Amino acid sequence: MEKVDVKGVKLFAPASIANISCGFDVLGLCLENIGDLMEIRRSEKAGIHITSIKGQDLPLEAEKNVAGVAGLAMLEAYNPQLGFEIRIEKNIKPGSGIGSSAASAAGTVAGINYLLGNPFTNKELIPFAMEGERLACGSAHADNVAPALLGGFTLVRDTNPLDICALPTPLELVATVIHPKIEVKTADARAVLKKRVTLEKAISQWGNVGALVSSLYEEDYDLLSRSLVDGIVEPARSILIPYFKELKAACKEGGALGSGISGSGPSVFALSRGMSTANKVAQAMQSVLEETNIPFDIHVSPVKKTGVSFIEDLLT
Amino acid sequence: MEKVDVKGVKLFAPASIANISCGFDVLGLCLENIGDLMEIRRSEKAGIHITSIKGQDLPLEAEKNVAGVAGLAMLEAYNPQLGFEIRIEKNIKPGSGIGSSAASAAGTVAGINYLLGNPFTNKELIPFAMEGERLACGSAHADNVAPALLGGFTLVRDTNPLDICALPTPLELVATVIHPKIEVKTADARAVLKKRVTLEKAISQWGNVGALVSSLYEEDYDLLSRSLVDGIVEPARSILIPYFKELKAACKEGGALGSGISGSGPSVFALSRGMSTANKVAQAMQSVLEETNIPFDIHVSPVKKTGVSFIEDLLT
């Protein structure tokens, strides 16, 4: 039912890790304590109106902003007469490779859906959020918006028509993410990929994807660890990330189950069993970049079991 | 404990379907009611002695027979002083693409293991059975011996070192297999494959493998159906199988969840939900080949939940 007494909602729009080593373009996971804060309010004026963005210098015009574009796509499908106002406290840095645009797009459509009394399921919201991704990187991919909306691990089986599986999340899994503050353009990260791969490497990759999915259902951390391998994308893309090899070695030393490039980089992620190991891995990764002049952010976060979370109803 | 009073064992060595559309070289499943009957008996004479093969013209010399080679590999590892005699009633035709050699190899090592009191787990038996596969087709692949030994669906994550996942089996799943009696050499089936594939097709394939694994855990027959797609191997190999397109169309008409080439062919398999649909699919496939002069066998079989099964202890 529509929440008519409620003026708006404050929500947490989570960051996410796409690809997860072997699962290029299909796998993603949602992060618990990295994300944007957003306020979505009803507006008398039809359309999407972004009134404030804190923390980042991003366009307020709805048509040029991923949140705006996602919201407009949703209103177009539901009721173009409606209007919403959006305020964003942007904690995820655009271009960091942990789903900054996906968080804004997912938060917007989830928030509007909440205020409208949930006419759409979370899965049904994904295509709207994907329109935000189309603006951000030229293609309407789902590997970050799916985990941001559904939580946990997700698999994009197909994008046309869209077919997404929500996968289970082993409870003790914790991610460590280091963001070296250098720019890797998504376009460049795409360009370095070879258009063809050997059948042999492709077979290894789909063996690992299948095993990784099984490991999530079985809560088999050892199998998960063995599956976190990428013989195709990582070797090509890692050349864009300074000290990648050293960071990976540090993750291993710290006891991580595996590590790789988060999305199209430059962030590097590791998955560990338990918070204490994830913290050790953070220490080890940090030591690598501290010996350089590259500024960085570092995060330790459990996998978030649900997507966008609603913090409070706004009554004014 | 070793079964010292027991002279031998009679067992059922199941056929299997490898690849299963999207899972080329990694997925396999075990069949319930297609398979060889074997008798394995202790022998005073060290080594493996194949004393009878009914139903097919295959070499009795242990070194030239997949069952012999698999058994010898096992004795080599366990105790080369021991001796076993093998009789085979070969119901699975070699070269049919439903794991004929794998059944003989798996039956042999499972039978010897049984008589020795199970010193090895079923997973540990796989490498010995793979030696039989090396003799049969030049490479020690595991995608048929794994399901023949473990039952259900299996995934070969890696062969070096060997890493195999046993996957769950949706209860209502039934396979239909038609074997057009034409010869497709495994070497030719390998040769028609392209060495490289586009990254785009590879991504689709691993999306489908991941989704298929998820569908088995979720017992989601619709998702399973959508995942039974192969954009890489089937287009290349199907040219070796006469009326493949018509057979696939028949499977669809009959209501199958999906269909494809079994192993390296020429058998074509379909998976259906429930026996009645699987029988309809069999009818539809049969109609296609009945209009030609190609002789064929047709089988309808549930997925076997366990591997090799032991029928009776032999006391003489």
**What is the pLDDT averaged over residues A89-118?**
96
Q: What count of other Cβ atoms lies within 10 Å of the Cβ of residue B82?
A: 18
Judge whether A175 and A31 are in contact, CB under 8 Å.
yes
**What is the pLDDT averaged over residues B114-126?**
97
Mutate to test the interface with A, among B206, B213, B229 (most CBs of A within 10 A): B206
Which of A7-21, A165-179, B174-188, B302-316 bottoms out in mean pLDDT, i.e. has the lowest? B174-188
CB contact under 8 A, A206 and B209: yes
The boundaries of every CATH 3.30.230.10 domain in chain A are: 8-167+305-314
- Residues 6 or more apart in contact with residue B56 via CB below 8 angstroms: B90, B93, B94
A39 is catalytic: no
Considering chain A, what is the average pLDDT of its residues?
A: 95
Judge whether B76 and B35 are in contact, CB under 8 Å.
no
- Exposed e or buried b per residue across A171-185, where buried means at least 16 C-beta atoms within 10 angstroms of its C-beta: eebbbbbbbbeeebe
Topology classification of domain A8-167+305-314: Ribosomal Protein S5; domain 2 (3.30.230)
Euclidean distance between CA atoms A252 and A244, whole angstroms: 13
Binning pLDDT at 50, 70 and 90, where does residue B5 land? confident
A133 is catalytic: yes
- By Cβ distance, the residue of A26, A214, A226 closest to B207 is A26
Binning pLDDT at 50, 70 and 90, where does residue A237 land? very high
pLDDT, residue B177, reads: 98
- By Cβ distance, the residue of A22, A194, A210 closest to B26 is A210
At A33-60, the pLDDT tens digits run 999 999 999 999 999 999 999 998 899 9
At B177-215, the pLDDT tens digits run 999 999 887 778 889 999 999 999 999 999 999 999 999
3-state secondary structure of B236: helix
Using CB atoms within 10 A of its CB, is residue B172 exposed (0-12), middle (13-18) or buried (19+)?
middle
Euclidean distance between CA atoms A39 and A107, whole angstroms: 9
Dmax of chain A from CA atoms?
60
CA atoms within 13 A on the CB side of A63: 0
The boundaries of every CATH 3.30.70.890 domain in chain A are: 173-302
Residue B294 DSSP class:
-
pLDDT, residue B157, reads: 98
- By Cβ distance, the residue of A210, A217, A226 closest to B155 is A210
Q: Are strands B309-314 and B296-302 parallel, antiparallel or unpaired?
A: unpaired
CATH 3.30.70.890 fits B173-302, yes or no: yes
The boundaries of every CATH 3.30.230.10 domain in chain B are: 8-167+304-314
pLDDT, residue B184, reads: 83
CB contact under 8 A, B207 and A158: yes
Euclidean distance between CA atoms B37 and B308, whole angstroms: 10
Binning pLDDT at 50, 70 and 90, where does residue B85 land? very high
**What is the pLDDT averaged over residues B66-75?**
97
Q: Say if B214 is an interface residue toward chain A (CB within 8 Å).
A: yes
Judge whether B69 and B62 are in contact, CB under 8 Å.
yes
pLDDT, residue B201, reads: 97
Q: Say if B222 is an interface residue toward chain A (CB within 8 Å).
A: no
At A157-184, the pLDDT tens digits run 999 999 999 999 999 999 999 999 998 8
Topology classification of domain B8-167+304-314: Ribosomal Protein S5; domain 2 (3.30.230)
Is the confidence metric ipTM above 0.90 for this complex? yes
Which among A96, A86, A95, A99 is positioned nearest to A37, based on CA atoms?
A86
Question: pLDDT > 70: what percent of chain A?
Answer: 100
**What is the pLDDT averaged over residues A205-225?**
98
- Name residue A125's amino acid: L
- Name residue B81's amino acid: Q
